Amino acid sequence: MNLEAGQTLGEFIIENQKDFKYSSGELSRLISSIKLATKVVNHKVNQAGLVDILGKFGSENIQGEEQQKLDVFANEAFIKTLSQREVVCGIASEENDDFIQITNTVNSHLSKYVVLIDPLDGSSNIDVNVSVGTIFSIYRRVTPEGTPVQIEDFLQKGNQQVAAGYVIYGSSTMLIYTTGNGVNGFTLNPSIGTFYLSHPNMRIPEDGNIYSINEGNYAHFPQGVKDYLKYCQKVEEDRPYTSRYIGSLCADFHRNMLKGGIYIYPSGSKSPNGKLRLLYECNPMAYIAEQAGGKATDGFQRIMDIQPTELHQRVPFFCGSKNMVEKAEELMANS
């Protein structure tokens, strides 16, 4: 893989598409489409407070969560950009009840790829100027090319992903993604609207000292998670660990990826199946984590080996530094 700090994202995509086993140029155009939509959303995020984009939209999404205005804007921006470029045959979004068949172009059904997306992760944080993000996952369709996309094209195991990534809109805007050949991060230069390679070959430290979990739900956690938190807080030579929880998956994951740590959103009496969505959040983040040397499980099994049964399926999520995740799994098993 050609890694040269300072490369633009466009140059990087073109120069490294040969490393992708299905290389046909179509995936490169798809990544470029996501890049464009990202810049549109970034522009609107940066206008928050100056234009009428803050606050609640007034409706709920399929999970019964009240939508923010930026949720709706980001969702429409990504769907519009992806559906107009003849690069995908279907899109599934966390904000939509069902998947979308792309039929607005002559060659829509001939496209090989489907995209699953969380358009604006952590959007409630916008009102208080905290980092938010976008998460995306790309698969090759399993139904015959030239036919309308079907539900089975989306209900694939995470180990079938061909690409995944996330964007973090923070003090700087970064796009991080993988196509199965490592993880690379690109930072947006806002003055000229171009992403540059700033974090080549990103790796998650095998050990860390940060744990990210909403400890306000402690009473509802399974015993194994409570035991792990006690382990993190115990005074030892390398402990206690530091607790850091932003409440925006992209931001928490990104910090732990750079510094070493574990992110946990477990099951509990309030969320029996966990809260995060397997297809829109857990699978893409798991793919990135594994490509960077980390690990992602539901506390007992590999996230990317779980067979999805519905578009908005939720699962518990343990993700980050390999040794920290394995210790959490050990305590979950013991409990």
Binding residues for Mg(2+), by number, are 94, 118, 120-121, 281
Bind-site residues: 94, 118, 120-124, 214, 245, 275, 281
Return the DSSP state at 306. -
Q: Tokens for 248? A: 């925006």
- Angle at 271 (CA atoms; ends 114, 211), nearest 5 degrees: 85
Q: Tokens for 212? A: 């990210």
Pairing label, strands 183-189, 194-199: antiparallel
Bind-site residues for substrate: 121-124, 214, 245, 275
Q: Tokens for 176? A: 């991080």
The DSSP secondary structure of 223-265, one letter per residue, reads: HHHHHHHHHHHS-BTTBSPEE---S-HHHHHHHHHHH--EEEE
| Those residues with Cβ within 8 angstroms of residue 255's Cβ, 6 or more apart along the chain or in another chain | 210, 212, 244, 246, 261
Give the 3-state secondary structure of residue 163. strand
